[in-house]
Amino acid sequence: MTNKLNEFIIKGHFEEAKEMTNELSYSELDGELMEMAFKDSSITNYAFIMSLLVEEENVELHEMAFRLMVIPLSYLDGAYYAALYHARRCVELTDRQDIRYLSNLLFLHHIPDKVVSEEEAYDTARRMLSLDPDYVLAKEFLKKR
C-alpha cells in the first residue's frame, strides 16, 4: 500500500489517498505515514493529515500530526511550533485528563528550541501529578525547578 499511497499523497491527490486509507485503523495509518515521511521527508504527509483534520477533528489525527513534526519532519523550520499546536489540541480534546498528551508538552519544553515556556511546563507537570502522583517524568521536572 505504501508506494501507491505515497504517490497519491506526494502529488496532492488526497481524495484518492483517503479512499485508500478508509479501512485503516489510526495506528495503521500512523505507521504508513511515518514510514513514508522517513523515506521522502515530504511535508505533503503533514498536509494529508491536516486535510483529514479539516473533515473531522480528533485527538488521534492531532497526535499523528504531532509525531510527524517531532520525528521525521523535525528538521523543518517551525516544525516544533506546529507540533506544539497539535500537542495543545490533544490536551484540550482530552480535557487535560490524559498524561500521554500532557507529556508531549513537557517534551517540547526539553528540546533545544524550548517551544513550551517554563511556566506552562510547570503547570503541565503539576497537572500530570494530580492525575498520577507517581509519574516519574513530572516528578523529575519539578525537582529540577
Query: For a pLDDT cut of 90, what percent of the chain falls above it?
Result: 94
pLDDT at 1: 67
- The rounded distance, in Å, linking the Cα atoms of 77 and 44 is 15
- pLDDT, tens digit, for every residue of 20-34? 999 999 999 999 999
pTM for the structure as a whole? 0.94
Kindly report the number of other CB atoms within 10 A of residue 88's CB atom: 18
**C-alpha cell read off for 75:** 528538521
Per-residue b or e along 105-140, where b marks 16 or more CB atoms closer than 10 Å to that residue's CB: bbbbbeeeeebbeeebbbebbebbbeeeeebebbee
- pLDDT, tens digit, for every residue of 65-99? 999 999 999 999 999 999 999 999 999 999 999 99
Cα angle, residue 71 at apex, residues 95 and 126 outer, rounded to 5°: 35
For residues 103 and 137, the answer to whether their CB atoms sit within 8 Å is yes
